[in-house]
Structures are given as structure tokens and as C-alpha cells.
Structure 1
Amino acid sequence: MFTNKDINFEALKRKAYNGRWATLENGIIPLTAADPDFRMSPEIEQGIIEYIKDGYLSYGPFSGIPEFKKSVTKHFNTEKNGSFKPENILAVNSAAQGMFLIAKYVLGPGDEAIIFDPVDFLFKKTVEAAGGNIKLCAVDSRTGEIDFEMLTSLISSKTKLISICNPHNPVGRVYSKEVLVKISEIAETHDLWVMSDEIWSDIIYDKKQFNTYSSVSEAAKKKSFTIFGFSKSFGIAGLRIGAVLCNDQELLDDFTEKSQFNSTIEGVSTLSQIAASVAIEKAKPWFSNFLDHLQHNRDLAYSILSNSGILTPNLPEATFVIFPKIENGFSSEAFTQHVLKEGKVAVVPGSERWFGKGAEGHIRICFSTSTEILEEGLNRIIKSF
């Protein structure tokens, strides 16, 4: 089901941008942006077709259509230990937009946000775009372990927000309930907001339990926002559909108003919301098979890299990226350029631009492709040295 035969390479070369097939020369294997090489499930495709059959694409409710809100609520409450109501959900144009809007809502000029280092570049970018300043809290680049002593020491009178990435990109750590409780206690003590990016929370291996941040304590429900999106689990990045979740209804209503969603300035395509709803309601069997495939690819990548002598891998608990350490003395950027030129494989460097200073000496490899392509790509990397 997830082999080379199931990949339409011609379509990818026309449509897969963001450092992938459509942006690279023929012959180069992209193991770059976290976007599956497989087409969306037939259920989602059919759901979109059915929705537009009557010929109407009218305005939807500003905060999201009822089907979308109910589906996201059910998804979080049944699979992530959430306690949300449909009215606690706001549809947004991607998880990235949700991150920016939260930073804009929480931070004033000169206010500080604490983010992990390393972590996906959007955390830094969205805070800076909103006019805030960044404080970096170190996490272990192999395990994702948080330096809580450092976290506490970074808090000042200017601190307003702690942003967490759970599961963690690029390390693949799933934070336990105990860790999340500790974060919530620190936030409560210092009266801080918490934003939890949970876009990767479907893609978890070995049946490990996931707890959405707001579920771990009463303190966690206060002054917190949760981010979710559909680009990773269901391969519909081009539809740009995400959600902001918040248990405090007055808080979410105020956020919705100040983010301009109570007008036609902002709002999300109804078609995108239908696709996301169908994904949750009807595409779970497809996703279950996809997750099995990803776990197989994770294990394969870990095995090949462990025996390479060039890269030392971590074992991700979640996500479909792996973040190995470079062992041959190359910088992240030099290693990436070398394997692109000599091995014809594109990967993401562990550079400050993409993940922060703490990522240096690593690369990120995406494995949401066929086993054949992954194996070929990893072997090319190894043989290029």
C-alpha cells in the first residue's frame, strides 16, 4: 500500500514544493520537508468530491463549520485524553498561522517567549513576527530532555509565554504527563501562557500514550492554547488546515475576536475543513496502515544509520523525521551540501536557521516515503563519503 508503485512521481514533480520533488533536479532524492510522498486517502478525495457536487461553496461560520469542530473535539477527547467541547475549537489556516496568531495575542513589544533549542524554526519565526523576543531553553538533541533548571532561570518580568513542541520536532520525543505537569506548575507559578504545538501527535510509535497539554492538570487548562494540523498525518498540506484549541471559552472568544476571525478578514476554506473532518471520521483505517509503514521505515532508518559509522541516529518516539548526529567532522551545512552533490540526496541541515543553535552537528532526514526510496537515499548518503 505504501510502496514505489503507490507513488505518482510525475504528480510530485509538479506539485511537491518546499524543498521537495518539484524544486530539485531529476535524480535527486528529497528526504527534506516533512510531507508524505503518498497521495491522500481515497476517503478524503471522495469527501471533497461529494461536498462540491451540489455546486455551492458558500461562506461558512467564521470560527469553523460544525462538522470540523465536532471532528477535532472527538479526535482529541478519544485519542489524546482531551476534554474539549466543539465550541473550544477555532479553525485556522494551518498550524503555523495558529502559532503566529497566539504569539501576536500573548506578546507585546519587548515581551519574551521561551522556546526549545533545538526546535522547528517556526517557533522562533512566529514570535519574532509578532514583535516578541526569544529566550532559548536547551533540550537534549538526542532525547529531547528539557533542561528545567535552565527553563526556570530564563523567566524574568518580561516573560509571557512558554512554547512547547510535543511530540518534538526534530528529536521525536513524546513528553510524558509528569513532564507536562512540571511545565504547567512553572507556568502557574509565574503566571505565564503556554502554547503546545501538537501537530505531530497522531504519529506516535510503539503505542506510546499521548496527553494533550491542557489535560494534565487544572493549571494546564488556564492560559493555554493547543495547536493542531492535518498536513503530517493525512498528507493535505496544500489545503492549509489547522485548529487552535482552548478549554477557556471566554479566552478563545477574545482570541477569535482579536485575531479578526469574527469578520471576513480571516477565515478558513470550507473545503479544507471538510477534508479534515473526513480524515478524522473516515480515513482512520488508511492512517493506521500508514502509521505501520512509518514505524517500519523508522526502524529501518535507525538500523542503517546505526551501522554507518558516519551518522549516529536517535530513535524517534514520534514524527516521521530522524535527527542523527554527524560523526565525521563535517558541519551540518557542509554535510548537507556534500550529500546533495556527491550522493544526490537532499536533507535538512541542523543549522541555526532551521532548528536553532543546539541543532548544529546534526541533519534531519524525513522518512515518509516508500521503503525503497528511503533505503536508496540512506545508502547514497553513506556511500558518498
Structure 2
Amino acid sequence: MISKLPNVTTSIFAVMSKMANDFNALNLSQGYPNFKSDPYLLELVNQAMKQGYNQYAPMQGDLGLRVELSNKVKNSHQKEYNPATEITITAGATQAIFTVISAVINSGDEVIIFTPAYDCYGPSIELFGGKIIPVQLKAPLFSPNWEEVSEKITNKTKMIIINSPHNPSGRLLLEEDMLQLQSLAEKHDLLVLSDEVYEHIIFDGNIHQSAAKFPELSKRTFITASFGKTFHNTGWKLGYCLAPENLMIEFQKVHQYNVFSVNHPMQRALATYLKTEEHYLGLSSFYQQKRDYFLNLIKDSRFKVIPSDGTYFQLLDYSKVTDESDLVFSERLAKVNKLATIPTSVFNANQEDFKQVRICFAKTEETLNAAAKILNSI
């Protein structure tokens, strides 16, 4: 058999989590909280099951949940998406991203991505015959060079993928970035996929510049997001996609034959849960407290840090510790120091190594204390 993805290997998240298990290391590698979901949300799921919502949901998703999402986006970004025709509930954001790419990318199409990039983008593009055109963001600020982006646009360019707040750097796209993107997308008639899974985890008074906020950009953009990341239940694998009707029609053509519909009682529960805005508007302060707590613990370590602007990830620059590659350093950190992290070069074009590892601070204070003790000892 000829592989359709001959260069794809086991993801770095699976590799490092296995290493954490094998060497009994504290796992700050994979991006998931180690604390419990809101008991109220769990009870809402239980109620929905008891009320009989245990069969297929509508293909597009529970209508009540789509209505609440429409209200949320309108309140947050002054953009109204029609719950009937412009919102689809998905099996997590990764399925939404995969479905977008499968719906619109054809053989020979070029897709611009910013690296370091979440690792599902590239293989999905290649699977459907597309060509990845990377634009490498440079440490430590990871700001896009829009002139470079413009130079890489050809008559084969079909789509640009953005991610803000950005994993793994924790940086944010600014309003001026989004206006540059909007201008390029209009000029060259490009589609945009905006990965906004950390939309509600923004720090230091910054504002999330969703693609929904920019009228001309939103007309050509698929926005993907995640309930799992937002509400501390990544194992539920629930997300959503927003897009104008003409794009959503194409999305749903694939979605209905991919998963058809997703977990019904959880959708019913989330429809009720979203009615209380504080359930998502309070997340920024919740996670900023964790970020600040952790960074204060390691302020005297040998690691250089620029505080994350968003997400629940933090990059640690270890260049004062060793000149080892990040892959070698991460392996040694797990085996010898008993702390699992993520080397960031695996997300970069040509595996460029900035001597940085990524940690997840969506953890209990007990876990953060233990991790800081290890880092301070190095």
C-alpha cells in the first residue's frame, strides 16, 4: 500500500505523554487541565440524558446551542451568524479544521500557514493534495511579517490559516494584523480558516481580535473553536464552526458524511450553560491567575520568559541552560528531571530551533508548585 501521508509520524503530544508515563514524569506537555469541570455543567449533562436526549442530534447541532452561540458571538464581536444556516457543532475543533480543509482544498491548491503551527493543519492539507506554504514566525515575539505573506501568495493560493491566541507561543494577532489579513484576502480572493480555540483565554486586558469582527474578512472565513478547551473537558471533543451560508453549505456536505452529528446530551447541557456569560467571560482572570502564579514561582530560575498573552501555554527559553536541541533537552528533562514538556521546533518550518519548550499551566497549584521546583533546580 502507498501511504497518503508518508512523512507523518506519531504526534509529539503522544510521544511526550508516553515518555511522562514511562519515566514517571510530571506531565506539562499535553494541553489539558488536570482539574475538574464545573459540577453544574456535569449535572446539566446528566439531566439531559435523563430527559431522553440520547439519540442523534440534528446534523448541524442542537438548535438551542446554535442560538446561544449566535448570541454569544453577537454580544462579543457585533457579528450575527444565523443559527439555522451558519453554525455547525463539531466533534472538537480538530474535526472542524479537517472538515474545512477537506471541503475546499483541491489538488494543487496552496495554503499559507504560520509556523510554529498546530500539528493537524499540514497533514490535512496534504491529504487532499494541497501544498503547504509556511511563513515562519520568529522568536521571541512571533509577529507575522505581512510583506512576506504577500510575497508568498500566487495564483494557486487558496487559503490562509491563522491561529489566535496562538499555540504554542501564546501570542495574539492585533487589530492591525487582522486588517492586513483582510486586505490580502480581499485583494487575492482568498479563503481564511481562523482557529480560535483559546478565544476566551486572553490576558492583561487584551482583546481577542476574532475574524468575526471584520466585516469583509468574515465573509470569506471559517472560524473554528472548542468547548473542550473553554470548559475544562477536552475529552468531550465538542467544538463548532462559524461561516457565512455559502461556505457553511460546503462544510456541511462533508460534515454529514464525516461524523453526521455529535454528542447530543452534552450539546443540550452547553446550551443552558452558555446562557450565563460569566461561565466563559471569567476564564481570562481564572487562567491569568494561574499564569502569574507559575511565573512568579520560576522568576529566579535560569529560564527566560515573556509572559503568554493568551492560551494556557507558556514558552520557556532555556538558552542559558544548555545549547542542546530542544528535542534532546525535552527528552533529558523528562528522563532525568521528571518533567515532560513539548519541544517547539517540531511545529516550525525546517524544524527551526529557538531553544524553547512549551508547558501547559492549566494545572492545580500543587502540580505547578512541583513543576516549578524542578525548573528552579536546573
1:65 shift after superposition = 1.0
Aligned partner of 1:156 in structure 2 is 154
1:360 shift after superposition = 4.3
| 1:332 maps to 2:326 | yes
Tell me which of 297, 300, 303 is aligned to 2:293: 300
1:355 shift after superposition = 4.9
1:196 shift after superposition = 0.3
| 1:201 maps to 2:199 | yes
Which residue type is aligned with residue 369 of structure 1?
K
Cα gap change, 1:374 to 1:271, in 2 (>3 Å): same
- For residues 340-381 of structure 1, give each alpha carbon's deviation from its aligned partner in whole angstroms, at most 9, with x where no partner exists: 1221111111132x4543454210000000123112212213
- For residues 184-232 of structure 1, give each alpha carbon's deviation from its aligned partner in whole angstroms, at most 9, with x where no partner exists: 101111111111000001111123212320322x320222110011121
Q: Indicate conservation of the 8 Å contact 1:230/1:242, yes or no.
A: yes
Q: Indicate conservation of the 8 Å contact 1:69/1:89, yes or no.
A: yes
Q: Distance in 2 between matches of 1:185 and 1:348?
A: 35
SS of alignment partner, residue 336 of structure 2: helix
TM-score normalised by structure 1 residue count: 0.87
Q: Distance in 2 between matches of 1:237 and 1:185?
A: 35
Tell me which of 160, 181, 184 is aligned to 2:182: 184
Aligned partner of 1:44 in structure 2 is 41
Aligned partner of 1:375 in structure 2 is 369
TM-score normalised by structure 2 residue count: 0.88
SS of alignment partner, residue 274 of structure 2: helix
List aligned pairs for 1:229-268, cutoff 5 A. 229-246=226-243, 248-257=244-253, 259-261=254-256, 266-268=260-262
Which residue type is aligned with residue 315 of structure 1?
P
Which residue type is aligned with residue 326 of structure 1?
Y
Q: Indicate conservation of the 8 Å contact 2:194/2:224, yes or no.
A: yes
Q: Indicate conservation of the 8 Å contact 2:344/2:356, yes or no.
A: yes
| 1:366 maps to 2:360 | yes
Give the superposed CA RMSD. 2.4
Which residue type is aligned with residue 201 of structure 1?
E
Which residue type is aligned with residue 252 of structure 2?
T
Cα gap change, 1:249 to 1:45, in 2 (>3 Å): same
| 1:28 maps to 2:45 | no
Q: Distance in 2 between matches of 1:49 and 1:267?
A: 19
- For residues 53-80 of structure 1, give each alpha carbon's deviation from its aligned partner in whole angstroms, at most 9, with x where no partner exists: 1345122211111111012112222224
The share of aligned pairs that are identical, in percent, is 23
Q: Distance in 2 between matches of 1:182 and 1:288?
A: 28
Aligned partner of 1:101 in structure 2 is 99
SS of alignment partner, residue 199 of structure 1: coil
Q: Indicate conservation of the 8 Å contact 2:53/2:264, yes or no.
A: no
- For residues 25-70 of structure 1, give each alpha carbon's deviation from its aligned partner in whole angstroms, at most 9, with x where no partner exists: 5842110111111111012101111101134512221111111101
1:288 shift after superposition = 5.8
Cα gap change, 1:290 to 1:25, in 2 (>3 Å): farther
1:153 shift after superposition = 1.1
Which residue type is aligned with residue 139 of structure 2?
S
Tell me which of 303, 309, 315 is aligned to 2:307: 315
Aligned partner of 1:129 in structure 2 is 127
Q: Distance in 1 between matches of 2:106 and 2:170?
A: 31
Aligned partner of 2:8 in structure 1 is none
SS of alignment partner, residue 223 of structure 2: strand
Q: Distance in 2 between matches of 1:108 and 1:86?
A: 28
Cα gap change, 1:232 to 1:260, in 2 (>3 Å): closer
SS of alignment partner, residue 365 of structure 1: strand
- For residues 108-163 of structure 1, give each alpha carbon's deviation from its aligned partner in whole angstroms, at most 9, with x where no partner exists: 11211000111221222322233211111122332221011211111112111100
Q: Distance in 2 between matches of 1:120 and 1:174?
A: 15
1:324 shift after superposition = 1.9
Cα gap change, 1:241 to 1:22, in 2 (>3 Å): farther
Q: Distance in 1 between matches of 2:42 and 2:137?
A: 39
Q: Indicate conservation of the 8 Å contact 2:300/2:376, yes or no.
A: no
Cα gap change, 1:286 to 1:38, in 2 (>3 Å): farther
Which residue type is aligned with residue 261 of structure 2?
G
Cα gap change, 1:168 to 1:25, in 2 (>3 Å): same
Aligned partner of 1:78 in structure 2 is 75
Q: Indicate conservation of the 8 Å contact 1:144/1:168, yes or no.
A: no
1:104 shift after superposition = 1.3
Cα gap change, 1:360 to 1:113, in 2 (>3 Å): same
Q: Distance in 1 between matches of 2:121 and 2:354?
A: 17
Q: Which runs of 5+ in 2 are unaligned?
A: 1-13
Q: Distance in 1 between matches of 2:42 and 2:258?
A: 27
- For residues 214-264 of structure 1, give each alpha carbon's deviation from its aligned partner in whole angstroms, at most 9, with x where no partner exists: 322x32022211001112121121111111101x2132123212x142x69
